[in-house]
Structure 1
Amino acid sequence: MERLKKLFYLFLILILLTAFSLFVGRYPSPGVMNPKLLQTDALALKLVMNLRLPRILTSLLLGSVLAGSGLVFQMIFSNPLVEPGFLGVSQGAAFGAAFSIIFFGSSLILIQGSAAFFALSGLALSYFIARRIRYGGWILRLILSGIAISALFSAGLGLMKFAADPMSQLPEITFWLLGGLWSVTWRDFFVILPVSLISLIITFLMRWKLNILNLDDETAYSLGVAPERDRIIFLFTATAATAAVISVSGIVNWVGLIVPHIARRYFRTDTRFSIPAAMMMGALFTLICDTIARTFFSGEIPLGILTSLIGAVLFLVLLTGKQTGVNR
């Protein structure tokens, strides 16, 4: 009952901050906009409805997907240091974006499509290679193949940077890799919504199985769970949603790494509570970071820089805090 109350309060805070962030920005002056202005200023209404609202909704979706997927990966791999882009997804998306910028130009549609394609290709290649490794358990094989594929895409990204025009293409690649939601529109939001929403729903409905999958396979079988099948479902849905959101946002680090730790700290390791908590905390984290990014300075700070900075600080706080263990 106590954890249900915490989830309710967390949801209430998320709703309130979302509504508040709609009126925070640099128009008509830096600070909080008077809501009554929407009735008299047509430009303010268009700004809120066509720029801020899709951007805010995308930031909520981005945080929910990265944090929820991060907790899924950490539970399945029994490793607190893995994150959603672990199986070659993040590096694949980065390579795809750079590939599109160099060979197909700066079209946002092509960049997003190429990033999503190579991100999913990273997962497919990791799975394909893991099936052909002849030693170790399934989890170990996935980890090894994911490391290898990430290294290959990272090397490919280096080659793309080397081949890029240093005056135009290279700065664009670098800026995309920093992450940001400055160009998000309603079209971008609705493109990533179906995959992300389906993934979040599947993860939420199956979240109790993660508690069992964290046990050994024999125990999981005895409790009526098919470990390999369910792990594939979790990995595919989480990775597909991650590929979708980072194709729009670019590389946004630390959300999928640090937020699951915070969720487990306050909601314990029972995934019936920690999964929805991680999703809402991730949405809050990216919403706050993105609001800071577009508000504090006239020149927008890339979202990936803020999430890395704040995430690293939070990580140090968790490491040096009094409570170093995880409650079960």
Structure 2
Amino acid sequence: MALTASKTLNYLTTQFTTRSLYSLLFVVAPLLIALAALCIGRYVVPPDHVLGILLSKILPLDPFWKPVEETVVFNIRLPRVILAMFIGAGLAVAGAAFQGLFGNPLVSPHILGVSSGAGFGAALSILIFRHMAFVPLGALIFGVMAMIVALWISRRNGQSSLFMLILAGVITAALFEAMLSLIKYLADPDDTLPTIVYWLMGSLTSANWSMLSWGLPLIFIGLSILYMLRWRLNILSLSDIEARALGVNLNRMRWIVILAATLITAASVSLAGIVGWVGLVIPHIARMIVGANHQAMIPASISLGAGYLLLVDTVARTATSAEIPLSILTAVIGAPFFAWLLKSTKGGWA
């Protein structure tokens, strides 16, 4: 009996230590990557200067840094770092929620055609107004519209099944991609078309405090909803009878998850263009580290998604003289990793 109690105590101690270590890593790693991102660039700023600039906004410090360093760190790099972390975390959590909702490891946040709708809205805004200031609004409006169209298509006799919703998403995405192709065909090939193509490939170049003031609250709302519902996401795999026995309205919870994840996706695409693979790959990595329990997987996805996209964006703006679009790097990294994942797990998914 004493031996069994000792083994149990050792097991619990090991589990607690492992969880504590993971929790510490998930908090510290994105912060260290953010500090490195604020330092690295064509104009290198020492880490102590970066910390001093950031602390000077809340503490009365005597400047020991150059004014140009403060401009680079606070006005140029910091909004971009914050935006990258929010979009990475948001897409990762939206992907994890959709994968749990549909019970399919190949599902990504773009499943309902939201990205295609937002891409069309951005391209239409560029074509009509010829100014990037209207692009985020157009992308957000048509991203939400794409979700509404997908929901309308999937309704049948007042009901909407998950299978019908996936098919409706495919139809909606195809429709908006066709209209996007029409916009590209009509666009001026010497001026408007390159702008549309570059924006669709994803970039955080236009990040600024004004953009963050309206875009981040939308992502934060969706993230907060999914985070608060993380333990209920485990119930989505249950049948309606089992869910009702646990006192959960499964149908209502599914729609809340869909709306929250769609809000994150539409806001992210409106801020940075179409950034692929983050919402598909990061939940798998989180699942491999902490398991399939969404109570642990959602916080892990937030940390991993924020750190991953921030790292990719740092490489995108520093690797070459011309900035590399985000979707190129996320695909170059994500596709080989996903192929390795499929080979190593033989297509299985817990």
Is TM-score (shorter-chain normalized) higher than 0.5?
Answer: yes
Name the aligned partner's letter for residue 265 of structure 1.
M
Inter-CA distance 323–288: structure 2 relative to 1 (3 Å threshold): farther
1:123 pairs with 2:147: yes
Q: Is the 8 A contact 2:201 2:326 kept in 1?
A: yes
Inter-CA distance 152–11: structure 2 relative to 1 (3 Å threshold): same
Q: Is the 8 A contact 2:226 2:257 kept in 1?
A: yes
The 3-state SS of whatever aligns with 1:252 is coil
The correspondence of residues 1-328 of structure 1 with structure 2, limited to 5 A, is 1=16, 2-28=18-44, 33=46, 35-36=48-49, 39-106=64-131, 108-132=132-156, 138-321=161-344, 325-326=348-349
The whole-number CA distance in structure 1 between the counterparts of 2:110 and 2:344 is 27
Aligned residue-pair number: 322
How far did residue 40 of structure 1 move? 3.3
How far did residue 242 of structure 1 move? 1.3
Name the aligned partner's letter for residue 92 of structure 1.
G
TM-score normalised over the length of structure 2:
0.88
Name the aligned partner's letter for residue 129 of structure 1.
I
How far did residue 134 of structure 1 move? 8.4
Name the aligned partner's letter for residue 337 of structure 2.
L
The whole-number CA distance in structure 1 between the counterparts of 2:35 and 2:99 is 32
Q: Is the 8 A contact 1:133 1:141 kept in 2?
A: no
Inter-CA distance 156–216: structure 2 relative to 1 (3 Å threshold): same
The 3-state SS of whatever aligns with 2:111 is coil
Inter-CA distance 283–138: structure 2 relative to 1 (3 Å threshold): same
Name the aligned partner's letter for residue 272 of structure 1.
Q
How far did residue 35 of structure 1 move? 3.5
The whole-number CA distance in structure 2 between the counterparts of 1:289 and 1:192 is 21
* 1:203-227 Cα shifts (integer Å, max 9, x gaps): 1111111100111222111111111
The whole-number CA distance in structure 1 between the counterparts of 2:330 and 2:100 is 22
* 1:53-98 Cα shifts (integer Å, max 9, x gaps): 0000000001000000000001101111111111010000110011
The whole-number CA distance in structure 2 between the counterparts of 1:56 and 1:279 is 15
The whole-number CA distance in structure 2 between the counterparts of 1:189 and 1:320 is 40
The 3-state SS of whatever aligns with 1:207 is coil
* 1:98-146 Cα shifts (integer Å, max 9, x gaps): 111111212x2311100000000011111111113789x6101111111
The whole-number CA distance in structure 2 between the counterparts of 1:325 and 1:152 is 32
Sequence identity percentage: 40
The whole-number CA distance in structure 2 between the counterparts of 1:152 and 1:315 is 28
Task: Show structure 1 runs of 5+ residues with no match.
Answer: none
Q: Is the 8 A contact 1:71 1:278 kept in 2?
A: yes
Task: Show structure 2 runs of 5+ residues with no match.
Answer: 1-15, 54-63
The 3-state SS of whatever aligns with 2:210 is helix
The whole-number CA distance in structure 1 between the counterparts of 2:157 and 2:202 is 34
The whole-number CA distance in structure 2 between the counterparts of 1:278 and 1:40 is 36
Inter-CA distance 144–4: structure 2 relative to 1 (3 Å threshold): farther
Inter-CA distance 322–104: structure 2 relative to 1 (3 Å threshold): closer
TM-score normalised over the length of structure 1:
0.93
How far did residue 316 of structure 1 move? 2.1
The whole-number CA distance in structure 2 between the counterparts of 1:170 and 1:183 is 18
> Which runs of at least 4 in structure 1 moved beyond 4 Å after TM superposition?
322-327
The whole-number CA distance in structure 1 between the counterparts of 2:165 and 2:87 is 25
Name the aligned partner's letter for residue 93 of structure 1.
A
The whole-number CA distance in structure 2 between the counterparts of 1:199 and 1:262 is 21
How far did residue 230 of structure 1 move? 0.4
The whole-number CA distance in structure 2 between the counterparts of 1:194 and 1:105 is 27
The whole-number CA distance in structure 2 between the counterparts of 1:67 and 1:17 is 17
Larger radius of gyration: 2
How far did residue 3 of structure 1 move? 3.3
Inter-CA distance 312–183: structure 2 relative to 1 (3 Å threshold): same
The 3-state SS of whatever aligns with 2:238 is coil
Q: Is the 8 A contact 1:66 1:242 kept in 2?
A: yes
